[in-house]
Chain A
Amino acid sequence: MALVKEEDSHKYMGFALQQAKLALEALEVPVGCVILEEGNVIASGRNRTNVTRNATRHAEMEAIDELVEQWRKDRLSPSQIAEKFSKCVLYVTCEPCIMCASALSFLGIKEVYYGCGNDKFGGCGSILSLHFGSSQTEQGQGGKGYKCRGGIMAEEAVSLFKCFYEQGNPNAPKPHRPVVQRERS
């Protein structure tokens, strides 16, 4: 599935890693992403679960919300927005979790590229395979899948997680155990 040239995919993942580093500086779980349209970055996001106290504010959700806000401001209709998403490509430093993988299917995104796998919550192959879409659809609607490939600059993504868990998650309930597992909160 060589959809994107190797050097291009490294360039885009580099942008996503940049977002992940910003998350780390903000004492957040270091995951970052960018969304592209025709090769241009049109949105970026990083994990903001601690500052928002909302554990669903993953990088993907942040970037998606940025786009939806913008397109609604531009007065695009729902079907025009769906059309837009169907041309979007996501680069994210860690495999989307089950929540985000579902959301990406609902939106009908075109392709997803990720760095390291997510062996606890991964929704693109590790735990569930939501990128295949759903076979269970009524009225022939929906169930959209998307192309998905992992392992792009995975070591860089993992080393950010290591940094984070060495410093400990500041927002975990106290007293907290030393964090040894790699996880996205």
Chain B
Amino acid sequence: MDSDAWEIIHIPDKPTFSPEHQPTLKVYASVIKPNFANTIVRHLCKIASLEDLRHVKRVRKKILPDHGEPQLTVILCLAPEDNDDDMPPDIQKLVDPYELSPFITEVCKYAAVSKEEWEEQCKLWPTSFHPPTYNIDGIGGFSEEDTQSICKFMRVAIDLAVCGHKTIVNAAVIVDPSVKRIIASETDQVYPSSASGDMTSAETKSFKERGESDHCQSIDTVTDASSEMCLNGILENLNSSLSTVACLNPWQWSLQSHDDESKWHPLKHASMVAIESSSARDRYLFPNSTDSFINNHSQPSDADCPAKKQKTNSHCADVHNDNKEALRDPLIEKPYLCTGYDIFLVWEPCTMCAMALVHQRIKRIFYAFPNPTAGGLGSVHRLQGEKSLNHHYAVFRILLPGVAHNALHQDLKCVTAES
């Protein structure tokens, strides 16, 4: 499989608009005399700072064809959307002393995210344009090497979602991109039928075995043929039932048939399980880093169920080695939650999972298919655009080759209009 055929697109913080149809705001503006410019602008910044319009230039300079002097026009303040003759009194006071003749004009409401948008904006009123980098790798484009490794990890997620399950589930792979190491890889555990026998045994394996050799190996040795098979499996199933993909049908967990042999939980979506597993890894690799209060206050709850105890025991044997490895390998630093980590998901996470990934401080999210029923990253809600949240991740969609005509892609148009 050729990774050139995989396309990675950024899903921005706000829905994208075609450059010609960007939302605008009305403002009061006036031509000013150049010798008043500095005083007026200083004054206006105090009484009418345009906090949400930082991308809009306060002063427009126009060279008129007939005289050599540039004409300066300044934005006085925001204008009410409905009422035209309601200029605030302190702006009104400036009219006479500075010989202003206010008029209403329009500026673009949001900062441009592409050069095309910016050029269109400046036809209305000049704005500034900062190509979006936000310090998050990839928004400005990926290197060939990064693209290769992103596609590899997405293949791991697809393998997990399809292979070894009776029905298709979602899968989540958390990766430390700085060392290209898998931190956790899990699937939905909402339905008993979705966890096959070997998944249960995977539960009891150590992180070292599971995370750092199984999957690293599988990345290096996975043959194109086998992952091609999984990809085809998922493509075939895209048109049939996806009812067991937890994030797509989060309200339907109770419809499953009863099977008291296997483990299931209505909220154990793949992302939630992967976060749990990465935090467990953190606790095992760095057992002492939160000091004494850990032991004093641990509460007898879910952590004490027999299965987890067993898991804990099986890890104890490894802790010694892992610690040694941690000491030796300067690349393993104690993580703060999932700071700096990427997560690869086959389906766009639901709002619960998307918020969980905010809480756990994931840096970048990659998913292959949108989630029109409950998606939290653009399809229904768009958490990456909620300014009030205390952490923001960058979201990318990976377009797989050969899926463009699928029914699930009806909303593709709204996410592909990209910078």
**Contact residues of A between 1 and 52, Cβ < 8 Å to B:** 25-28, 45-46, 48-52
How far is B304's CA from A86's CA once the two chains are assembled, in angstroms?
A: 27
**Contact residues of B between 334 and 370, Cβ < 8 Å to A:** 336-337, 339, 350-356, 358-361
How far is B373's CA from A55's CA once the two chains are assembled, in angstroms?
A: 25
- Smallest CB separation, A58 vs chain B (Å): 8
- Asked if B373 contacts A99 (CB within 8 A), the reply is no
- Asked if B361 contacts A55 (CB within 8 A), the reply is yes
Mark each residue of chain B from 293 to 312: 1 if its CB lies under 8 Å from any CB of chain A, else 0: 11011110111010000000
Chain B residues with CB under 8 Å of A62's CB are 299, 301-302
How far is B254's CA from A142's CA once the two chains are assembled, in angstroms?
A: 10
- Asked if B302 contacts A65 (CB within 8 A), the reply is yes
Chain B residues with CB under 8 Å of A134's CB are 373-374, 380
**Contact residues of A between 95 and 136, Cβ < 8 Å to B:** 97-100, 102-103, 105-108, 119-121, 123, 127-128, 130, 134, 136
How far is B291's CA from A27's CA once the two chains are assembled, in angstroms?
A: 12
**Contact residues of B between 272 and 322, Cβ < 8 Å to A:** 272, 275-276, 279, 282-283, 290-291, 293-294, 296-299, 301-303, 305
How far is B336's CA from A55's CA once the two chains are assembled, in angstroms?
A: 10
- With A52-B279, A78-B256, A136-B373 in contact, is A61–B267 under 8 Å at CB? yes
Does B381 belong to the interface (CB within 8 Å)? yes
- Asked if A56 contacts B266 (CB within 8 A), the reply is no
**Contact residues of B between 249 and 279, Cβ < 8 Å to A:** 249-256, 258, 260, 264-267, 272, 275-276, 279
**Contact residues of A between 61 and 93, Cβ < 8 Å to B:** 61-62, 64-66, 68-69, 72, 75, 77-79, 81-82
Does B388 belong to the interface (CB within 8 Å)? yes
Does A178 belong to the interface (CB within 8 Å)? no
How far is B302's CA from A64's CA once the two chains are assembled, in angstroms?
A: 10
Does B390 belong to the interface (CB within 8 Å)? yes
Q: Determine which of A45, A53, A56, A120 lies in contact with B389 in the assembled complex, contact meaning CB atoms within 8 Å.
A: A120
- Smallest CB separation, A56 vs chain B (Å): 5
Does B383 belong to the interface (CB within 8 Å)? yes
Does B386 belong to the interface (CB within 8 Å)? yes
Q: Determine which of B279, B339, B372, B381 lies in contact with A173 in the assembled complex, contact meaning CB atoms within 8 Å.
A: B339
- Asked if A99 contacts B252 (CB within 8 A), the reply is no
Identify the closest chain B residue to A128 (Cβ).
Answer: B381
Chain B residues with CB under 8 Å of A144's CB are 251
- With A51-B298, A54-B276, A56-B359 in contact, is A107–B266 under 8 Å at CB? yes
- Smallest CB separation, B174 vs chain A (Å): 12
- Asked if B302 contacts A69 (CB within 8 A), the reply is yes
Chain A residues with CB under 8 Å of B359's CB are 49, 55-56, 97, 99, 185
Number of B residues near A (Cβ < 8 Å) is 57
Q: Determine which of A53, A55, A128, A170 lies in contact with B351 in the assembled complex, contact meaning CB atoms within 8 Å.
A: A128
Q: Determine which of B251, B294, B352, B383 lies in contact with A108 in the assembled complex, contact meaning CB atoms within 8 Å.
A: B251
Identify the closest chain A residue to B360 (Cβ).
Answer: A55
Number of A residues near B (Cβ < 8 Å) is 61
Does A168 belong to the interface (CB within 8 Å)? no
Identify the closest chain A residue to B339 (Cβ).
Answer: A173
Chain B residues with CB under 8 Å of A121's CB are 355, 358, 388-390
Chain B facing A: main interface SS: loop
Q: Determine which of A48, A66, A79, A103 lies in contact with B267 in the assembled complex, contact meaning CB atoms within 8 Å.
A: A103
- Asked if A79 contacts B255 (CB within 8 A), the reply is yes
- Smallest CB separation, B354 vs chain A (Å): 8
- Asked if B352 contacts A99 (CB within 8 A), the reply is yes
How far is B361's CA from A185's CA once the two chains are assembled, in angstroms?
A: 10
Identify the closest chain B residue to A174 (Cβ).
Answer: B336
Q: Determine which of B258, B302, B360, B381 lies in contact with A56 in the assembled complex, contact meaning CB atoms within 8 Å.
A: B360
How far is B350's CA from A176's CA once the two chains are assembled, in angstroms?
A: 31
How far is B307's CA from A163's CA once the two chains are assembled, in angstroms?
A: 37
How far is B190's CA from A106's CA once the two chains are assembled, in angstroms?
A: 12
Chain A residues with CB under 8 Å of B354's CB are 98
- Asked if A54 contacts B279 (CB within 8 A), the reply is yes
Identify the closest chain B residue to A55 (Cβ).
Answer: B359
- Smallest CB separation, A95 vs chain B (Å): 13
- Smallest CB separation, A185 vs chain B (Å): 7
- With A106-B253, A106-B266 in contact, is A56–B290 under 8 Å at CB? no
- Smallest CB separation, B20 vs chain A (Å): 29
7 closest A-B pairs by CB: A142-B251, A82-B254, A99-B355, A26-B297, A54-B279, A102-B352, A55-B359
30 contacts between A and B (CB under 8 A): A26-B297, A48-B301, A50-B290, A51-B297, A55-B275, A55-B359, A66-B301, A68-B265, A69-B302, A69-B305, A72-B264, A78-B254, A78-B258, A78-B266, A81-B254, A81-B266, A98-B351, A98-B383, A103-B267, A106-B250, A120-B388, A120-B390, A130-B351, A134-B380, A136-B373, A137-B373, A138-B372, A141-B251, A144-B251, A170-B291
B residues adjacent to A (C-beta < 8 A): 249-256, 258, 260, 264-267, 272, 275-276, 279, 282-283, 290-291, 293-294, 296-299, 301-303, 305, 336-337, 339, 350-356, 358-361, 372-374, 376, 380-381, 383, 386, 388-390
- Contacts A56-B360, A141-B249 aside, 18 further interface pairs with beta carbons under 8 A come to A27-B297, A46-B299, A52-B279, A55-B359, A56-B272, A62-B302, A72-B264, A79-B255, A99-B356, A102-B355, A106-B266, A119-B388, A121-B389, A128-B351, A130-B351, A136-B372, A141-B252, A170-B291
